[in-house]
Amino acid sequence: MYRSRLEGKLDKHTLEFLSSISDDFQIALYDILGSQAHTMMLLENKIITKSEATKILTALEKLKKEEFSEKSEAEDIHELIESLVIKKAGKEAGGKMHTARSRNDQVTLDIRMKIRDDINIICFCLNEVISTLIQLAEKYQNTIMPLYTHLQQAQVGLFSHFLLAYADALFRDLDRFYVTYGRVNESPLGAGPVGGTSIPIDRQSTAKMLGFKGLVENSIDATSSRDFVAEYVGNCSILMTNLSRMAEDFIIWSTSEFSFLELSDKFTSTSSVMPQKKNPDILELIRGKTAQVIGYQMAILSNLKGLPSGYNRDLQQIKVSIWPTSKIAISSLLVVNSLLKTMNVNEKKLRQAIDRGFSISLDIAENLVRKGIPFRLSHKIVGHLVQIAANSKKSLSQLSLSEVKETIPSKEIDAKELYKIIQSTTPESSLDTRRSQGSSGKHEQQRMIADRKKKIQAYVIGTTKRTNEVRTAIQGLESKLKVLIKNKA
Ligand code: ARG
């Protein structure tokens, strides 16, 4: 449709190479809505007549219900929609739709509208997963388990503490999306190809009709920049990396060696050959798809880093990385939420793991510190205790008084007193006395659960408000144009 300056048509393979049609179906509806807002604005500013606007809007409205064919000769969805509007509304009216805009402001408008919706969906999904984690934390606030560093037992902890740690990481993801939304929710429409237009358009008006909070004001910036895409996909890769850590923990914990968790049958797969297998494929795919999203982020940044300002066709390839990223992020959050809700936590196994290890050591050392022993010395004493216990295959509480005596290098502490401290330091007692802010201490769990419950509510309210703002704007636009279409009919 645009090739009057050029001689001849593109051959089939070249067109296929050039065309983004198959990637554009994801933004077709946004493109129609953007075109409708643009047409309404052209009418309101007397750039086109009411009859022309009505014809264009009627054609666009019909297109909302039609399926587009990939086989068209158009280079992209913008060309396809415009050519279909011209077909339906005639050259006279339809030919005026593209007045005072360009595919360059159009494509980035569509991407912004799509990402805006995807962010709201992701925020809703994150709200759900975080709420599930908080509910589970409430349920498991007395479930004792070992905490790990280097995948070796480190300290006695609570399962609720672990769940709240995932929740806090996801809160940061939620906040990242929440803040990014503000930068995405600005309208580039009306920037034209790069330098604006002499036609008296009203950019504020189209922005308002489409529910945007403001403009990407500078027309060069509006058409050249995709940093908002890099930011969005970057947020998705960080989110996926957090989910991947959770997935990795759960994969390890659901091995028969650990058996801390049992995943519901609905979230596992079996083997084609080994009938006994119950594999955590869903969790493995979270890890695998995380790699894919990180790849998309790399693709976007690599695309952008060498481009000069202004629209360059390289930018077309950026879209290819956005849609699957959204799909992966949303579907991962949905499955993780269901998986969390249906998994079985083996509290007995978690407790037994403590009894088989020495994760109580630091608590014993701290009890010695409370008796006035310098920490470095108490560290040394408990280190010896662990060495003797490990060599004789005993737990610390199984050590005899004479074995305890061997570990005391000087007269700083009485062996009997040390023995008493070892006997009285239990996982339960250490969690009762653990009190630093954010620790595994029982009181801290209660406090953090109550605090996070309040915090998530604010995001739920905010996300709902934003979704409604976009919906109300689009509904307003649709009812405005329906009046025009109806009056005509
Ligand atoms: N299909 C293009 C894209 O997705 C649309 C913009 C094309 N603009 C241009 N001047 N060639 O990025």
Question: What CA–CA distance (Å, rounded) separates 133 from 460?
Answer: 15
pLDDT at 2: 77
- CA angle in degrees (0–180, nearest 5) for 191-194-197: 55
Indicate whether 95 and 201 sit together in one domain. no
- CA–centroid distance, 103 to ligand 1, in Å, is 6
- CA angle in degrees (0–180, nearest 5) for 292-297-303: 125
Contact between 36 and 60 (Cβ < 8 Å): yes
pLDDT at 281: 92
Question: What CA–CA distance (Å, rounded) separates 329 from 288?
Answer: 12
Which atom in ligand 1 lies closest to the alpha carbon of residue 76? Answer: 1
Indicate whether 120 and 94 sit together in one domain. no
Indicate whether 87 and 57 sit together in one domain. yes
Which atom in ligand 1 lies closest to the alpha carbon of residue 107? Answer: 5
Nearest CA to ligand 1 atom 2: 316
Indicate whether 95 and 114 sit together in one domain. no
Residue 320, classed as helix, strand or coil, is helix
Question: What CA–CA distance (Å, rounded) separates 18 from 74?
Answer: 10
Tell me the H-state helices in 140-226: 159-184, 203-209, 219-224
pLDDT at 488: 65
Provide the annotated active-site residues.
Answer: 150, 271
Which atom in ligand 1 lies closest to the alpha carbon of residue 24? Answer: 4
Testing ligand 1's pocket by substitution, the residue of 19, 76, 101 carrying the most ligand atoms inside 8 A of its CB is: 76
Indicate whether 94 and 115 sit together in one domain. no
In a domain, 150, yes or no: no
For 90: left if phi > 0, alpha if psi spans -120 to 50, otherwise beta; the answer is left
Indicate whether 252 and 289 sit together in one domain. yes
CATH number at residue 370: 1.10.40.30
- CA–centroid distance, 27 to ligand 1, in Å, is 13
In a domain, 171, yes or no: yes
Indicate the residue type of 357: G
pLDDT at 104: 98
In a domain, 6, yes or no: no
Testing ligand 1's pocket by substitution, the residue of 23, 104, 312, 314 carrying the most ligand atoms inside 8 A of its CB is: 104
Nearest CA to ligand 1 atom 12: 316
Residue 477, classed as helix, strand or coil, is helix
Residue 131, classed as helix, strand or coil, is helix
Nearest CA to ligand 1 atom 7: 103
Q: 372-387 b/e with 16+ CB inside 10 Å = b?
A: ebeeebbebbbeebbe
Indicate whether 87 and 163 sit together in one domain. no
Which atom in ligand 1 lies closest to the alpha carbon of residue 20? Answer: 1
Whether the pTM exceeds 0.85: the reply is yes
Which atom in ligand 1 lies closest to the alpha carbon of residue 319? Answer: 4
CATH number at residue 265: 1.20.200.10
Provide the domain limits for residue 28: 12-99
CATH number at residue 74: 1.10.275.10
Contact between 284 and 251 (Cβ < 8 Å): yes
Per-residue tens of pLDDT for the chain, all 489 residues: 777 778 788 888 999 999 999 999 999 999 999 999 999 999 999 999 999 999 999 999 999 999 988 778 899 999 999 999 999 999 999 999 999 999 999 999 999 999 999 999 999 999 999 999 999 999 999 999 999 999 999 999 999 999 999 999 999 999 999 999 999 999 999 999 999 999 999 999 999 999 999 999 999 999 999 999 999 999 999 999 999 999 999 999 999 999 999 988 887 877 776 777 678 899 999 999 999 999 999 999 999 999 999 999 999 999 999 999 999 999 999 999 999 999 999 999 999 999 888 999 999 999 999 999 999 999 999 999 999 999 999 999 999 999 998 877 667 788 899 999 999 999 999 899 999 999 999 999 999 999 999 999 999 999 999 999 999 999 999 999 999 998 765
Strands (E), 304-421: 344-345
**Residue owning tokens 């339960």:** 428
In a domain, 240, yes or no: yes
Q: Which residues pair with 155 in a beta bridge?
A: 147
Q: CB 485: neighbour CB atoms within 10 A? A: 16
Question: What CA–CA distance (Å, rounded) separates 132 from 346?
Answer: 18
Handedness of CA 482, 485, 487, 489 (dihedral sign): negative
Which atom in ligand 1 lies closest to the alpha carbon of residue 75? Answer: 1
Residues with CB under 6 A from ligand 1: 20, 76, 78, 103-104, 107, 311, 313, 315-316, 319
Contact between 332 and 283 (Cβ < 8 Å): no
- CA–centroid distance, 23 to ligand 1, in Å, is 12
Indicate whether 69 and 132 sit together in one domain. no
Please, which residues have CB within 8 angstroms of residue 173's CB and are 6 or more apart in sequence? 126, 235, 238, 239, 242
Contact between 300 and 226 (Cβ < 8 Å): yes
Structural tokens at position 239: 């989110």
pLDDT at 421: 94
Nearest CA to ligand 1 atom 4: 316
In a domain, 402, yes or no: yes
- CA–centroid distance, 232 to ligand 1, in Å, is 21
* Residue among 245, 237, 244, 224 at smallest CA distance from 298: 237
- CA–centroid distance, 96 to ligand 1, in Å, is 19
DSSP secondary structure code for residue 279 in this structure: B
Testing ligand 1's pocket by substitution, the residue of 316, 319, 322, 323 carrying the most ligand atoms inside 8 A of its CB is: 316
- CA–centroid distance, 316 to ligand 1, in Å, is 6
In a domain, 432, yes or no: no
- CA angle in degrees (0–180, nearest 5) for 337-340-343: 145
Indicate whether 217 and 181 sit together in one domain. yes
In a domain, 43, yes or no: yes
Question: What CA–CA distance (Å, rounded) separates 173 from 68?
Answer: 36
Indicate whether 173 and 261 sit together in one domain. yes
Indicate whether 297 and 400 sit together in one domain. no
DSSP secondary structure code for residue 277 in this structure: -
Burial of 42 (0-12, 13-18, 19+ CB in 10 A): buried
CA atoms within 13 A on the CB side of 260: 19
Contact between 386 and 361 (Cβ < 8 Å): yes
In a domain, 478, yes or no: no
**Residue owning tokens 């519901």:** 264
DSSP secondary structure code for residue 296 in this structure: H
Contact between 226 and 318 (Cβ < 8 Å): yes
Orientation angle between helical segments 442-488 and 50-63, nearest 10 degrees: 130
pLDDT at 72: 82
- CA–centroid distance, 1 to ligand 1, in Å, is 14
Which atom in ligand 1 lies closest to the alpha carbon of residue 19? Answer: 1
Q: What's the total number of domains in the chain? A: 3
Question: What CA–CA distance (Å, rounded) separates 466 from 211?
Answer: 10
pLDDT at 89: 97
Testing ligand 1's pocket by substitution, the residue of 78, 226, 312 carrying the most ligand atoms inside 8 A of its CB is: 78
Contact between 177 and 122 (Cβ < 8 Å): yes
Task: Render 257-274 in DSSP notation, one character per residue.
Answer: TT-SEE--GGG-B--SS-
Nearest CA to ligand 1 atom 11: 313
- CA–centroid distance, 309 to ligand 1, in Å, is 14
Indicate whether 280 and 404 sit together in one domain. no
Q: CB 220: neighbour CB atoms within 10 A? A: 14
- CA–centroid distance, 439 to ligand 1, in Å, is 53
From residue 70, give the alpha-carbon distance in Å to each of 30, 104, 333: 18, 21, 31
